[in-house]
Amino acid sequence: MTASPGLPDRDPLPSYLAPVPKAIEDLGLRFAWLIVAINLAGTAFGFWYYSAQFAATPTVMWPWVPDSPLATLFIALAIAAWKLGHELPWLTALAFFGNIVLGLWTPYTLLVFYETYAAQTHPLMYQFLFWSHLAMVVQAFVLHRITDFPVWGVAVALAWYGFNLIVDYFVPIVGEPHHTSIPVPRDEPMFLAADALGLVAAGETTFVLLALFLALATRVKKCEAARSRAVDR
């Protein structure tokens, strides 16, 4: 299946790799600069939102504090690079991982700690955080139109988000874990015999593995489609 004039082709990927309807993909790609602007605005809001976390974290670890703002910055830069004719596979892979991982992790934590967040957060802010992060997942699933997810690019994204997992939950290196503060004590017992920190760590680990699977599966399916086109010729 080809795209509309001026837009990149849409490979015949299975629905679990390309769940966003083609019409919406095309709309997002046509208004790419608007998507860039929205993500930059989200990045600015996110850095403001994390200001207290920055103050409580050693400066050397600041790059691993603003997870969601960095994810929106990655996708803004990746789309901008593509629009300027210089798509950077490693940057697009970082954007894909970030928007899948944080786009799912934030709603996950909002649901896991629903009672606490509902008591501490204005209902409009709660809804904004929940749905805006799910929108990050939607835009991540459009990136297959601008990249082939080369293995080396996926490796860069896995290295970044793998290290992020380590310093967030397992080996802080400097100071305490650097993930966003959760609204209950880290050792508070939760369900399935997990404490609060372990539960959110399990969620983020799952989403990193999901992003890895989706990126590599997209790579495989794109290679299969390219070979099929070559045989048809």
Task: Considering only the C-alpha atoms of the chain, give the largest distance between any 2 of them, rounded to a whole number of Å.
Answer: 62
Residues 28, 38 contacting (CB under 8 angstroms): no
Domain boundaries, the chain: 22-232
- Give every residue of the chain whose pLDDT is below 50, as ranges: 1-5
Q: How much is the pLDDT for 233?
A: 66
3-state secondary structure the chain: CCCCCCCCCCCCCCCCCCCCCHHHHHHHHHCHHHHHHHHHHHHHHHHHHCHHHHHCCCHHHHHHCCHHHHHHHHHHHHHHHHHCCCCCHHHHHHHHHHHHHHHHHHHHHHHHCHHHHHHHCCHHHHHHHHHHHHHHHHHHCCHHHCCCCCHHHHHHHHHHHHHHHHHHHHCCCCCCCCCCCCCCCCCCECCCCCEHHHHHHHHHHHHHHHHHHHHHHHHHHHHHHHHHHHHHC
Q: How much is the pLDDT for 4?
A: 45
Q: How much is the pLDDT for 3?
A: 47
Strand partners, 189: 195
pLDDT in tens, 161-211: 999 999 999 888 888 777 667 888 888 888 877 899 899 999 999 999 999
